Structure 1
Amino acid sequence: MLTLALSFAALVCAVAARPSLNYLESHTAENESEEVRSAAIKRLLEVFGMEDPPAIHGHKQPPQYMLDLYNTVADVDGVTKDPYLLEGNTVRSFFDRLRSEQVEFRFNLSTVARTEKILTAELHLFKLRPQATSTFNRHHFCQVSVYQVLDTSKSNNTLGKKLLSSRLIPVHSTGWEVFTITQAVRSWMVDEGNNLGLHVVVQTLGGSKMDLKLIRFASGRNHHQSKQPMLVLFTDDGRRSSAPEITDPNDFAATSSLPHAPMSGPPSRSARSLDYSDEDGMSMPCQRLPLYVDFEEIGWSGWIVSPRGYNAYHCKGSCSFPLGQNMRPTNHATVQSIINALKLIKGIETPCCVPDKLFSINLLYFDDDENVVLKQYSDMVAGSCGCH
């Protein structure tokens, strides 16, 4: 009897220890949901040209130049103002790695893909206010030359350098000075071993060396990050769209007579409810509806500087006969709708409601090396919808 009781108790314990059917179903659903989310995020990264999201190192302040550039080419929601404002589709910024007090600079370009075409490379130096000296009154201009270092053993000899850019600068001025150094960067991309850095030489108009107390550029060691030496690359990664974009900002609003939902945040409840109006049996005509992509919900807000999200919009509705001009139909769609209405051929569906204009967006973000990148992505926003 005791043996039977012990056997029964063991059975009860085994059943109790076994997961319930509901638990297993719930656990399986969670795993499947996580797999779908992981696959979706991976696919979205591919759309943005990345294999993995950049590592988050902390909250650094983006260079003011990159913020200003972003605001020049994009509106508050990241949508491109004019596709011809930006040279190429990618702008990368790099801070000096030598952090030397001397006029020597070196930049790590390992994050630049070999496939990217270097269009323009600029060295940005912040000229500080000159210190008061007896020579200040004698010199009003100086010659500033930027050299590519070819041989570090000849650092004090022009034979070990290649002149990249040279021009006159007012001695009394203060602010950013920009020098084009495209040739050097292109050679560095061909052979990383060629990247021995840059050297800046400051001379009087007569060719003699200037007093470094008179002409001073901010260094990465002793000055605020906002004034650090910076290399800016304008490149093209070959991912540009073949479809032309509208260049007149006013045309963007003219592409649809529908009310535009605010793009600075998620759509309102009333905007969302439009998406389901046809569930009541009232078939709506083809139109553009809100579709807000929130980078914070995706988990990307840590490395994306701007925008916080954007309204991609989507197209929904019927393309039933007769198709009015407000539905922006193609000739093919018009013929297809007629064939469908007359039932001349079996199995011919009505035309589809799809985007007929697409616009690019701009992303300002930190890469794995904490460099700030501005990138333009084509075909990201449905500008208007039509029957096709």
Structure 2
Amino acid sequence: MNGLGAISSSHSLPLIRTLMDHGPLKSGMAAKQDLSMQHLRFMLQLYKRSADGDGRPKASRPVGAAVRLVRPVSQAPYIMEKKWRIQNLKFILHNLKKEELVKATVMYPRTMYFGDSSYICKVEPLPNADLFSKTRVPPGNWVWAETDITSHIRSLPEDANQSLHVQLLCRSIGKRTRSLAVSASHIPFLLIYFNPKVHNPSTEKILTTDSGKAVPRELRRKPRQVGTFGIKLPKISNQSEQLKNHCSLRPFWVSFHQLGWDHWIIAPHRYNPGYCKGDCPRLLHAGYNSPNHAIIQNFINQVIDGNIPRPSCVPYSYGPISVLMIEPGGNILFKEYENMIAESCTCR
């Protein structure tokens, strides 16, 4: 088994398996060059508004949210009907969990041109066609308009590969005006906003006592804060310690090209996971945020048994990274992965 195969089969690396499952690692699967430039450009703009160049989410972005751009799996030829050009499109909603769904919109070109004629467009999900009041043109973006179809998708029956049929209707408004019309190559798409960590109060497990009665919230145990050991320990040798290689956070930049993933990860191009390295001092001061166990372990090493190892330098807190990637079916996913970047170190 090669290196990537061994990594992907490891049960201790669920994130690696997820990334490899999402990425088109086999020949014939979608890659960047197979996608519409309009779709790529749109999602890159969304990415830049939500994350910096290294993938760190900006403070204004909702935590845990994700966005998927869904391309149509089929596009019927345009049908001419008097002043109208009509096109039917089909989308597949792969494994969309409705409890995770936040919002769904159809993005489509507001105006297009065919030959020397300009057209103004709108969309309808089929068979329901009464959603025009929800159509709007996003500010600062005259190319794309959007129609909210969240309620329509919620009304669809549950299915792992649910089909959604949408009709694009474009009406002639006269001769082509270069400042208003865009090419007919602009392909409509779906934007699915979802939150994999959505909390459903109806499914909350209620903490109960042995008698079956619910424990009042104010009496439930709260998470303990890390603190120093509360009793006096016997004195240990007061030897000064000058650590040349003290425990600290170190940078380490890795590119997705090095991992062989750059053909399906669009952004960022690289990221800094960081790592912790160095020696832990004999006296752990508060700045290390070390647990009481580490303090006792240090004490045992010095006073009782030197074979007991001293605490190790490990990450203490982590930060997320936002990734823009191409899924196997050719959709584009913008998702935030937690605990991807070491932000501080501790001794434990």
- The residue aligned with 2:188 is 229
- The residue aligned with 1:90 is 66
Listed as ranges, the matches of 1:204-283 within 5 Å are: 211-213=171-173, 223=183, 225=185, 227-238=186-197
Question: CA, structure 1 residues 168+377, in 2 after alignment: closer, same or farther (shift >3 Å)?
Answer: closer
After superposition, the C-alpha distances for 1:196-227 in whole angstroms (9 at most, x for unaligned) are 5124679xxxxxxxx533699xxxxx9365x3
- The residue aligned with 2:209 is none
8 Å contact kept, 1:187–1:194: no
8 Å contact kept, 1:105–1:198: yes
The AA in structure 2 aligned to 1:338 is: F
8 Å contact kept, 1:287–1:315: yes
Matches of 1:370 and 1:317, distance apart in 2 = 44
- The residue aligned with 1:371 is 331
- 3-state secondary structure, aligned to 1:72: helix
The AA in structure 1 aligned to 2:313 is: C
After superposition, the C-alpha distances for 1:141-197 in whole angstroms (9 at most, x for unaligned) are x9x9754323xxxxxxxxxx2534515769xx9432222111222344614787351
Structure 1: unaligned runs, 5 residues or longer: 1-33, 137-141, 151-160, 203-210, 217-221, 241-281
- The residue aligned with 1:166 is 133
Question: CA, structure 1 residues 110+230, in 2 after alignment: closer, same or farther (shift >3 Å)?
Answer: closer
Higher helix share: 1
TM-score by length of 2: 0.65
Matches of 2:136 and 2:154, distance apart in 1 = 26
- 3-state secondary structure, aligned to 2:280: coil
Question: CA, structure 1 residues 115+39, in 2 after alignment: closer, same or farther (shift >3 Å)?
Answer: farther
User: Among the aligned pairs, what percent are the same residue?
Assistant: 25
Higher strand share: 2
Does 175-184 or 109-118 show the bigger shift? 109-118
Structure 2: unaligned runs, 5 residues or longer: 79-84, 177-181, 200-242
Matches of 2:166 and 2:2, distance apart in 1 = 48
- 3-state secondary structure, aligned to 2:257: helix
- The residue aligned with 1:254 is none
Shift of 1:85: 0.8
- 3-state secondary structure, aligned to 2:152: helix
The AA in structure 1 aligned to 2:65 is: N
- The residue aligned with 1:182 is 150
Matches of 1:295 and 1:98, distance apart in 2 = 33
Matches of 1:69 and 1:286, distance apart in 2 = 38
- 3-state secondary structure, aligned to 2:92: coil
2:259 equivalent among 298, 303, 324: 298
- The residue aligned with 2:106 is 123
8 Å contact kept, 2:90–2:164: no
